[in-house]
Chain A
């Protein structure tokens, strides 16, 4: 701080502090506090707000229970609240998306970091970036077109003789997973690439020179080095997937609801903002928890994730 003052003088230093304060306090911290506060308030007609009925309670949070539906885990059928089921499935399938993006991106990032020639690299990256600049809503729409019953995917598979009857792709969670993977695979690719690129190629050659088979080189040399990148990519993809509203809203089937859609329903259709706040807060809490766990498991810092 003293250093800042010496370099930029009083006026600029206060400007920097003021702008940062506006951002972090007014735009981030205070709204989150308000979210927490509102989540304990009941849904009342305008006339009753501030009146005797306007007292704090856990009522909004209790709304996640109720309306029990069957839910099978490993073949065992249990009864569970519909919203809890959606919450659990959202997290589960976000995990599935994360895993698939990792499996897709790992070989590619290795290729980009260690195999592709330096000359073609900028061009390859440019090509990879093109879909990223195209709006997410349009990318989801593209998959909607591809996956429809009479769409090009089924037509292609039929022509190739791989299937004899059209597959109903838009059913359950698979269309959401397919589209989320497509939408977020690059968020796994770039951090992985960054991590692998910083690995000295000599280490790989040394391992191979010492007689290590390729899979062991990956397991013992490359994967450990890429760990911060994996953590970063995994956290990004998981958060984006769990928090995505656009993709499931466009391409979901009635049997594949996402938790963000539940929140949207309460907020915009039910117009119960306080209950919406409670559900949003639950999502925020869970996300914070998930990031902390990921940081603990991968033993990385937030600054590693944010690369």
Chain B
């Protein structure tokens, strides 16, 4: 009984993973098909022509540069802003905290279309023309919420006694910040930066309304898919999936190594306890 239920669980997990990964495989496969349409059937033979076409597509490289520029700007603004918000909301209590927290979380739930249009209209009244700078501001308005949530969660595991200890040992406020609080927050800030970066690259809705004439990768791919589709996009998709997998492997190895280090330290502490 127990075992058969477990088996169903394993099976379902496997099917679900196949469901998640097969579309990506289909898309990657189409990148190597000599067919003019992006598909895997009928298979017309292996080719690298779509990768060459991708390499020669200048607009896509421009769009990539724009995307990275926007993502970088979003990280630079959203991480400090979100972290400041988390520290602020963590230090107060009661009704103001609830209101402030609500205001900080709400942007996640606001449709990107609304954020895009409101950002465009707001800056337009000050004669700020549309363009990628507006995309950055619009994206920051909700991406900072993710950073805030990550930093806030990390702050909850922070022993504020450490700051008091540092102050008691004569540290200045800036030193407390730099040596005690920031090192504790680094994992959350790193995760926040990564999420901000990827959210920004992913973003379509906000960017579409605020970008002016500039392309980002998502917008460009979108327009390619809408107009004439060639498997060039599949070649791009394949490369992006590969990059993702490489990052995933690096992450996993690092995680395992850190876990091993942590385990050996704990073992040593236990030994010290016994002696």
Contacts and interface: CB of A to CB of B under 8 A. Distances in A.
A and B touch in the complex (CB under 8 A): yes
Query: In the complex, which range does the number of interface residues on chain B fall in?
Result: 35 or more
A182 interface: yes
Contact of A239 (B91, B111, B202, B251): B111
B118 A31 contact: yes
Nearest to A301: B98
Contacts of A145: 26-27, 30, 38-40
B229 to A, nearest CB: 8
A283 B113 contact: yes
B185 to A, nearest CB: 13
Nearest to A107: B12
B118 A131 contact: no
B61 interface: no
B100 to A, nearest CB: 8
Contacts of B202: 135-136
Nearest to A122: B255
A152 B114 contact: no
The interface centre, meaning the residue of A136, A145, A151, A242 with most chain B CB atoms within 10 A of its CB, is A145
A19 B76 CA distance: 13
A249 interface: yes
Nearest to A38: B121
B117 A291 contact: no
Interface string A7-47: 11101100111111011100111111011001000000000
Nearest to B17: A127
Contacts of A32: 114, 118
Contact of B221 (A135, A236, A287): A135
B101 A245 contact: no
B188 to A, nearest CB: 15
B88 to A, nearest CB: 5
A16 to B, nearest CB: 4
Given A20-B85, A23-B144, A126 B252 contact: yes
Query: In the complex, which range does the number of interface residues on chain A fall in?
Result: 35 or more
Given A8-B176, A31-B118, A263 B113 contact: yes
Contacts of A58: none
B30 to A, nearest CB: 6
Given A126-B252, A127-B21, A152-B40, A19 B108 contact: no
A145 B252 CA distance: 31
Interface string B112-150: 111101111110110000000000011011001000010
A280 B114 contact: yes
Contact of B107 (A1, A28, A38): A28
Given A133-B198, A137-B218, A152-B41, A20 B88 contact: yes
Interface stretch (B44-52, B204-212, B265-273): B204-212
A163 interface: no
Nearest to B96: A1
Nearest to A138: B237
B24 interface: yes
A236 B163 CA distance: 36
Interface stretch (A108-116, A164-172, A222-230): A108-116
Nearest to A281: B114
B248 A129 contact: yes
A283 B225 contact: no
Contacts of B40: 145, 152
Interface string B219-246: 0011001100000010011001100110
Nearest to A259: B113
B222 A267 contact: no
A82 interface: no
B114 A116 contact: no
Given A126-B252, A136-B204, A277 B140 contact: no
B91 A3 contact: yes
A272 B251 CA distance: 47
B113 A35 contact: no
9 contacts: A7-B173, A12-B173, A31-B119, A133-B248, A134-B240, A136-B218, A142-B23, A244-B205, A264-B113
Given A126-B251, A136-B218, 11 more contacts: A8-B176, A31-B121, A110-B9, A128-B20, A130-B241, A130-B248, A145-B26, A239-B111, A280-B111, A283-B111, A287-B109
